[in-house]
């Protein structure tokens, strides 16, 4: 065999090695794929380039020089192809914000509405079917809307600084959403049929059924000929719609400055072992009508206020209000 015949096959194999390696590095789109190609072609132990280098030992002395020169050129080309592939993948990962866009996607974990939000939305739907619109108002209120217009005199215990969050310049965190009812009546003449929803604040000691911040839904209906029978009918229909046909509620005589007569509305708690207050209600006091410019001789109305947390707890069998605010995903995932 001549030197030329020995050299040509060897050089041809080097050309094939270079072409195949270039194709492998060019098609590699992830860091792992680039590393696989590097090990196959540039690996120090079993790489194909290493095997081509070992072939020098089998060549005739006359052709080793030419083969060595071509080998060095192929080695340099493979190293350049490897560096280019690695840089291309790194740039792509960086451009994607550190995420390898070629990897399979990871489905995001989707949340859902908080149980209190679910409850509020359902209350809006139920009362909406009864013809009540939704009204909202500011959480930082003035004393007039929170007390004066609601017929709560300055000497009333409800205005005690220890029972409210007073702010500067005659403002405070509202202690009931009745303030929204006042604002609605100030802005429109009768008839009125609205529910007022939102957070309220009272410095209560936190326990299983009390919190310094909670949510209320209050209803107001003002028109000619509105009676206590209308109030009781609305509340019974609501209780059956939200808590079920078998729910038991009761009305107890009570007193509120802004309603006369007034009642407490109780619901039978889990297991039927005790009654828990659901809210207060009554016929709107004439002094409240006078404060907003209504004529008490021409219209009557009822108002009620319900705690959204307690309704939610009764609906879902929750015994501690604090669970609703601890943001424990294990608890919230149940709803």
Binding residues for Mg(2+): 260
Q: What burial letters (b/e) apply to 253-283, b meaning 16+ CB within 10 Å?
A: eeebbbbeebbbbbbbbeeeeeeeebbbbbb
- Which pairs from 325-332 meet CB under 8 Å and 24+ separation? 325/211, 332/114, 332/115
| Burial (CB count <10 Å: 0-12, 13-18, 19+), residue 124 | middle
Identify the residue whose tokens are 């501690």: 320
Annotated binding site: 260
Query: What CA–CA distances, in Å, run from 186 to 149, 175, 182, 222, 243?
Result: 10, 19, 6, 13, 33
Classify strands 300-307 and 275-284 as parallel, antiparallel or unpaired: antiparallel
Largest CA distance in the chain: 126
| Burial (CB count <10 Å: 0-12, 13-18, 19+), residue 6 | middle
């Amino acid at each position: 065999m001549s030197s030329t015949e020995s050299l040509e096959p060897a050089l041809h194999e080097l050309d094939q090695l270079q072409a195949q390696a270039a194709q492998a590095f060019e098609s590699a789109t992830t860091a792992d794929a680039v590393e696989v190609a590097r090990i196959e072609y540039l690996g120090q132990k079993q790489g194909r380039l290493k095997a081509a280098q070992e072939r020098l030992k089998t060549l005739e002395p006359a052709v080793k020089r030419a083969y060595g020169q071509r080998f060095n050129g192929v080695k340099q080309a493979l190293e350049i192809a490897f560096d280019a592939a690695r840089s291309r993948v790194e740039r792509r990962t960086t451009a994607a914000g550190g995420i390898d866009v070629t990897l399979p996607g990871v489905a995001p974990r989707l949340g859902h509405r908080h149980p209190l939000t679910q409850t509020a939305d359902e209350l809006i739907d139920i009362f909406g079917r009864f013809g009540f619109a939704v009204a909202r108002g500011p959480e930082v209120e003035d004393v007039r809307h929170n007390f004066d217009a609601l017929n709560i005199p300055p000497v009333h215990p409800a205005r005690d600084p220890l029972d409210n969050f007073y702010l500067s310049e005659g403002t405070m965190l509202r202690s009931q959403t009745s303030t929204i009812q006042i604002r609605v009546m100030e802005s429109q003449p009768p008839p009125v049929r609205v529910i007022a929803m939102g957070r309220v604040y009272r410095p209560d000691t936190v326990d299983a059924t009390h919190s310094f911040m909670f949510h209320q839904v209050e209803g107001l209906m003002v028109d000619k000929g509105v009676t206590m029978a209308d109030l009781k009918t609305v509340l019974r229909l609501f209780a059956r719609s939200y808590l079920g046909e078998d729910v038991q509620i009761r009305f107890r005589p009570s007193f509120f400055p802004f309603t006369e007569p007034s009642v407490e509305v109780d619901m039978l708690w889990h297991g039927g072992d005790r009654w828990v207050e659901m809210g207060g209600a009554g016929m709107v006091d004439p002094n409240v009508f006078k404060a907003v410019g209504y004529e008490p001789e021409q219209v009557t109305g009822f108002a009620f206020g319900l705690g959204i947390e307690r309704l939610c707890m009764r609906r879902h069998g929750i015994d501690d209000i604090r669970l609703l605010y601890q943001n424990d995903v294990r608890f919230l995932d149940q709803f």
